[in-house]
């Protein structure tokens, strides 16, 4: 894992509270990233509920490849806390 990514994870863990987290994320990410990251989280939630990939893609306005990527990561148990 990249050293900078590990540092980001350490910084995120330090943040206490939703408001502080929002301020941190808005300062760190571009508007496009702020829009796309929650969408990816929603993809994972819908996959866990059993919604078909093509329906998720249509519902969220994303490509099937984006949903498939989430599905592959989900199969590797990377989202147990979601």
Q: Is residue 46 part of a domain?
A: yes
Answer yes or no: are the C-beta atoms of 79 and 48 closer than 8 Å.
Answer: yes
pLDDT single digits (tens) 43-69: 999 999 999 999 999 999 999 999 999
φ and ψ of 17, to 5 deg: 95, 150
Beta carbons within 8 Å of 62's beta carbon, 6+ residues apart: 39, 43, 56
Tell me which residue range forms the domain holding 49. 3-75
Q: Is residue 41 part of a domain?
A: yes
φ and ψ of 16, to 5 deg: -115, 120
Average pLDDT over residues 26-50: 94
Q: Is residue 81 part of a domain?
A: no
63: domain CATH number? 1.10.1270.10
Q: Is residue 14 part of a domain?
A: yes
Task: Tally the domains of the chain.
Answer: 1
């Amino acid at each position: 894992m990249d050293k900078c990514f590990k540092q980001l994870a350490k910084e995120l863990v330090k943040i206490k509270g939703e408001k502080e987290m929002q301020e941190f994320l808005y300062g760190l990410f571009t508007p496009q990233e702020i829009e796309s990251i929650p969408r990816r989280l929603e993809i994972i939630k819908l996959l866990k509920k059993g919604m078909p990939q093509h329906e998720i893609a249509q519902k969220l306005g994303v490509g099937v490849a984006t949903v498939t990527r989430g599905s592959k990561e989900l199969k590797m148990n990377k989202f147990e806390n979601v």
